[in-house]
Chains A and B, each alone.
Chain A
């Protein structure tokens, strides 16, 4: 078994608001292996974005990582625990952008409107030069530019020499996202975090971008953490799926297991409630009762129990189920499968 590129162990991120404590991420664990795409899926308030921010150490106050570890495996060095690094320290800045890159949700917001997209990529290349090219002479401006043009070509941007000088607002949504991907991949990161990268673009463009990501991932062997709420996209992209709800992992497993043999009531209900082009139309969709509680009003015990059709009275409301195996590579946190394994409060 290869060493995972990223190991998240029992991560806890809490937000200390005036109104109360919000446990945005409350004990999340998963591994990402080299070349693997791990999809984190969940609805609003599940903590997937906060998890992503914690990995990059960009959680804003009043939020703070209060527990757990995020072990990142650099090439040959021992794994470094990202939670122990201060958010502004040089070591972390060296990792961000070069070893762990981010494809954000809204590419328009992520690009500076007063610099050309090429300039921003060149900046990233030069900043992290010593990481992707440890030896050799320093990068010249023309070298950096031609590298950027090549990058653009490899992500499928037509007329790359002209597009390098374009501004982000001159490009269409699809092109912007491709440029964003180019920027993320410029320093050959070991881990790519894609935060809802296709939510803001059209379906046909989305298909192209997902294709591109799959292709690039195969070619470079980059591990990807793919965050989305769209189960269709997860089914297409991920090898391994983590289903989150209200800050905890409900279930995780290979994509086939999650979609064809879901064990957790939440996963099952979620899959049933999606309208799909393959489902008979105009019938009532099976829904999950109730709605997602406010983060300040998290239920005690298992976070899903008030809405769970299979909740066990007296058990699910009292204790929090631990994440335990329910199959060879599948884990679920549900008392239906492990009556005795609760999380210590």
Chain B
């Protein structure tokens, strides 16, 4: 909307994993973990990527980071020197100079820190590897990073096993910020933490984001967390993007039945909130053998004939609001608002049909 340039432009990203059978490991098919995903992230923006297991959000994140090689598509990145680079086809050697600009925060605070290294060394490793700082200079920078994430610099000599989950996550954040990256990909950074610690780490991320003007790709399965931190939200289902809009728009007025169902399924910490009206039957579709037509159609309360046959395209139905649904214009779905929920979350289409199923 504004003149802020985009930092990351993902175009038609695809990643498939071959399925091999038989003694000679013949390829008999492929699982499209990421199936034609496109989005952009502007500088300073936080994009939340949300979905359930198997939806492809982690694979997307890892492709962007080039921890794996995409099958096809482009990952355009605006580097620090202004050039636009397509990360997808780059070799390991070509990627190396760009690594300081894209960093990752991991989900598991226990396995993401090398247990044999002191935390000071862990945080300083990116600096050492790229020769950005040496000796005392590096120590000083690591100390500053520690303070910035709320740890004491006296703890730099300690080993990871001495820290709690929340503290380890802070160390992981410090490591990600060491090279002053332009883009930070956070893969479920708070899912493995206790409730009270989640809040602390989320606050830290919010603060850092504002202060350092970070661009963040925030992958999560927890809608509440995503809503809390994101400017825009993208919802994925079985490898495809089904909805993309600003956080307000998506939460107040979701346009895709899956998004609406996802919101209703999240248990609200309020005993008076309605519960038990489950809009979705069945299980998440199998990415190795997705349904024909719209992948969501077997579970959708508003399914019509066309949904079973023809896969819908991702269309822009309002400014900046993309939906992959044949009936996006006619459905009236309700989401969650800033006020505490009252009454029912009726999911009704324009024909007056109540989409409730069990």
Query: Would A and B touch once assembled, by the CB under 8 A criterion?
Result: yes
Q: Is B196's CB under 8 angstroms from A282's CB?
A: no
In the complex, B31 has a CB within 8 A of chain A: no
Interface 9-residue window, one of B98-106, B124-132, B223-231, B322-330: B223-231
A276 touches B268 (CB 8 A): yes
Question: Given A275-B199, A279-B224, A281-B247, 17 more contacts at CB 8 Å?
Answer: A43-B194, A203-B262, A203-B266, A206-B267, A207-B265, A231-B269, A232-B269, A233-B267, A235-B271, A236-B271, A259-B270, A259-B271, A260-B271, A275-B222, A278-B270, A281-B228, A281-B229
- Count residues of A near B (Cβ-Cβ below 8 Å): 49
User: What residues of B have a CB within 8 angstroms of the CB of A284 in the complex?
Assistant: 203, 206-207
Residues of chain A in range 278-297 having any CB-CB distance to chain B below 8 Å? 278-282, 284-288, 291-292, 294
Q: Which of B75-83, B89-97, B272-280 binds A? A: B272-280
Partner-binding segment picked from A90-98, A189-197, A265-273, A314-322: A265-273
When A202-B221, A269-B196, A274-B195 are in contact, do A282 and B206 touch as well, CB less than 8 Å? yes
A9 at the interface (CB under 8 A from B): no
A135 close to chain B: CB less than 8 A: no
Question: Within B181-216, which residues are at the interface with A (CB < 8 Å)?
Answer: 194-200, 202-203, 206-207
Expressed in whole angstroms, the Cα–Cα distance for A44 and B52 within the complex equals 24
Q: Determine whether the beta carbon of A285 is less than 8 Å from that of B199.
A: yes
What is the distance, in angstroms, from B249's C-beta to the closest C-beta of chain A? 12
Query: Could you tell me if A278 and B267 are in contact, using CB atoms closer than 8 angstroms?
Result: no
Q: Which of A172, A202, A236, A281 contacts B275 (CB 8 A)?
A: A236
Interface size class of B (residues with CB under 8 A): 35 or more
Write the residues of chain B forming the contact surface with A, with a CB cutoff of 8 angstroms.
52-53, 164-167, 194-200, 202-203, 206-207, 221-225, 227-230, 247, 251, 261-273, 275-276, 278, 280-281, 283-284, 336-341, 358
CB-CB contacts below 8 Å: A217-239 with B: 229-236
Q: How many Å lie between the Cα of A174 and that of B267 in the bound state? A: 17
Of B53, B194, B202, the contact of A229 (CB 8 Å cutoff): B194
Q: How far is A284 from B223 in the complex, measured between Cα atoms in Å?
A: 17
**A270 contacts B196, C-beta separation under 8 Å:** yes
Inter-chain contact A207/B195, CB cutoff 8 Å: no
| Residues of B contacting A276 in the complex (Cβ-Cβ under 8 angstroms) | 224, 268-269
Residues of A within 8 A of B341 (CB): 278
A235 to B338, CA, bound (A): 19
Whether A203 contacts B52 in the complex (CB less than 8 A), given A275-B227, A278-B341, comes out as: yes
B5 to A: closest C-beta gap in Å: 22
Once bound together, how far apart are the Cα atoms of A285 and B271, in whole Å? 21
Shortest Cβ distance from residue B247 to the other chain A in the assembled complex, whole angstroms: 6
Chain B proximity of A123: nearest CB distance (Å)? 27
Inter-chain CA distance A229–B193, complex, in Å, is 11
Are B278 and A232 neighbours in the complex by a CB distance under 8 Å? no
A44, A203, A279 interface centre (most CB from chain B within 10 Å): A203
When the two chains form their complex, are residues A288 and B196 in contact, meaning their CB atoms are under 8 A apart?
A: yes
CA distance A255 to B275 in the complex (A): 14
Quick check: is A86 within 8 A (CB to CB) of the other chain?
A: no
**B53: chain A residues within 8 A (beta carbon):** 173, 202
- Taking a contact as CB atoms under 8 Å apart, the answer to whether B228 and A275 are in contact is yes
Q: With a CB–CB cut-off of 8 A, which chain B residues contact A235?
A: 267-271, 273
Pair A275/B198 contact, Cβ less than 8 Å: yes
Cross-interface CB contact of A273 among B195, B206, B268, B272, cutoff 8 Å: B195
